[in-house]
Structure 1
Amino acid sequence: MLRDRIVEAIAEGVLTVGSSLAATRTLAADFGINFHTVNKAYDLLRQQGVIRLNRKSGAVVTSTAAAPPFSAEWTVRARTLLAEAVARGLPPDEVLEICRSVLDSFGATQPEDMP
């Protein structure tokens, strides 16, 4: 999903606060997708506060600070994902290792964060 790829690019530091995203038609052509698909992804990111849209400057990455409503929403989504892992038999230590690995891939953990 395009929205997810953009969020990952922000998490990886490829896109930073103030970064401009490609115009919808340009991005659609680059990925061989309909520009309406790009519009929908950009609009969802705008609604989620990840980007701001402006007719002149286009789509721009906004602050990455998490607001309390996002934290609560994310906790619910994470709980469901973790419940699925447990229900499918992944051992807790493997779940934690996967979480650490993903966070490490974004440069989000430091050695002192590890138990």
Structure 2
Amino acid sequence: MIMKLDMSSTTPIYVQLRNQIVLGIGKGEIKIGQSLPTVRQLAEDIGVNTMTVSKAYSILKNEGYIEIDRRHGAKVNPSLDISGEFKERLEEELSLLIAEFGIKGVNKREFMDICSRIFDSMNIPSMVGGGV
């Protein structure tokens, strides 16, 4: 698992780490059920404090992306949830992105092309049994 973290970014490292893991799952680089490095190991590998990794893992657990067991560590949740709460959050985040794109002059067709290209680069269908 290769992490691309920008230590000079205004985005907190734990958020970048969380995002990189979600992208890894989405792209199929991190498989459903796969174990993740321990907090200590990942912190050492990427050169950050263990509390940073712990916070990222905690967020991922709360969002349902991973499960954590004291005996077996963290692993990608084999039963990812696509509940109403998730869909509401997705809609809110997409609304903001669409507004930002529109303000910057990107039209619907360009936006949809970008979305399609990114979606196609993910390994989504095999993860969720044929897509949503």
Whether the TM-score (by the shorter chain) exceeds 0.5 is yes
User: Does the aligned pair in 1 maintain the 2:34–2:76 contact within 8 Å?
Assistant: yes
**What residue in structure 2 maps to residue 112 of structure 1?**
none
> Residues 80 and 47 of structure 1: is their aligned pair in 2 closer, same or farther, counting only changes over 3 Å?
same
Deviations 1:80-101 (A, max 9, x none): 1111100111121111111011
1:61-100 matches, cutoff 5 A: 61-62=76-77, 63-100=79-116
1:18-37 matches, cutoff 5 A: 18-37=33-52
Deviation for aligned residue 1:43? 0.1
RMSD of the alignment, in Å?
1.3
User: Percent identity, aligned pairs only?
Assistant: 35
Q: Partners of 2:86 and 2:62 in 1: how far apart? A: 12
**Helix, strand or coil for the counterpart of 2:28?**
coil
Q: Partners of 1:29 and 1:8 in 2: how far apart? A: 21
User: Does the aligned pair in 1 maintain the 2:39–2:53 contact within 8 Å?
Assistant: yes
Q: Any stretches of 5+ residues in structure 1 without a counterpart?
A: 110-115
Q: Does residue 38 of structure 1 match 2:53?
A: yes
Deviations 1:42-98 (A, max 9, x none): 000011011111111111111234112101111111111111100111121111111
Q: Partners of 2:38 and 2:112 in 1: how far apart? A: 38
Q: Partners of 1:36 and 1:29 in 2: how far apart? A: 12
Deviation for aligned residue 1:15? 1.5
**What residue in structure 2 maps to residue 3 of structure 1?**
18
Q: Any stretches of 5+ residues in structure 2 without a counterpart?
A: 1-15, 126-132
* TM-score for the superposition, normalised by structure 2: 0.78
